[in-house]
Amino acid sequence: MQFHSMSTISWLTAAVFLLFVTLCCTRSLWAAVSALLSLLVKSRRMLLVVALMVGVLLLNSLELTWEQNYSYSADFTPWVFQLEGHFVAFFQQLFHAQGVTLVVSFFYLVVFQALILASLFIYAGDGRRLFVYATCCTVMLNYLVALPFYALFPVNEVWSYPPSGASFYMLEAFPKFNELYRPLSGINNCFPSLHTSISVSMAILAIRSGNRSWAIAATGSAAVIVFSIFYLGIHWFTDMIGGLLLATLASGLGIKWACSLDRSPDSLSS
């Protein structure tokens, strides 16, 4: 099995999202969908927060465009390599196998996106409006903190730095990755690892939400995604540490931000 197009990834993301919501929401899939739509219709504040989250996600593509048109040429990759050496290459050698490549690529490309989307519907279906807010706020904080690092502290992916000795195993599962997926993810946008920070953030929120089945699913998914960033040869160990710190910060502040939104009167409600 290989990934051949972004449409395949989109369909698989939708399938994993449906599976997550069906198995982990305390109500039915349709009740969860109805609950989130109801929140968006009844509360303009909720609609605004979700729209802002989408807007912040779009900033990532704008940052990539800015990079292409800006003459800033710093490269901190050699410094990171001096710090940790051949850790990623050694890690890859321990686990490399075709089956492992397919599984971890699936989690990196598909499950990562489904975690964010499913969180919104599961919390809405569970009647946990606070955690719908918290998911949006946490995702926004992750990106808003990471983007300045990507612009001002560029670090190249491990496989693209020859002295690292790492291989880019993603191409075994998605041969056209650099053609189709690369425009969404800059090759020097490594520190901190957003795949680490956002997946771990979703796991932290799931644990704090009290939904046991979702906590298990989100935590297990986050663990595989963190494994994948090394196995695929994308991120440095330093990137992962930065991602874990960012996840802790963003999820904590995200819940506090959500509490302020959830407690105050919704003056924009229709």
Assign residue 165 a region: left if phi > 0, alpha if psi is -120 to 50, beta otherwise? Answer: left
Describe the crossing of helices 44-69 and 29-42 by its angle, rounded to 10 degrees. 90
Neighbours of 223 (CB within 10 A): 14
In this prediction, residue 62 carries a pLDDT of: 76
223 or 60, greater pLDDT: 223
Which DSSP string corresponds to 196-256? HHHHHHHHHHHHHHT-HHHHHHHHHHHHHHHHHHHHTT---HHHHHHHHHHHHHHHHHHHH
Q: Quick: pLDDT tens for 166-213.
A: 999 999 999 999 998 887 888 899 999 999 999 999 999 999 999 999
| Backbone dihedral angles phi then psi of residue 168, each to the nearest 5 degrees | -100, 85
Report the chain's C-alpha Rg in angstroms: 19
Q: How far is CA 217 from the centre of its chain?
A: 15
> 6-71+78-263 domain in CATH 1.20.144?
yes
Q: Quick: pLDDT tens for 44-96.
A: 999 999 999 999 988 877 776 776 677 777 899 999 999 999 999 999 999 99
- For 33, 77, 124, 264, the CA distances from 40, given in Å and listed in that order, are 11, 43, 10, 17
Half-sphere exposure of residue 263, counting CA atoms within 13 Å on the CB side? 6
Contact in structure between 239 and 246 (CB atoms under 8 Å):
no
Give domain limits for the chain: 6-71+78-263
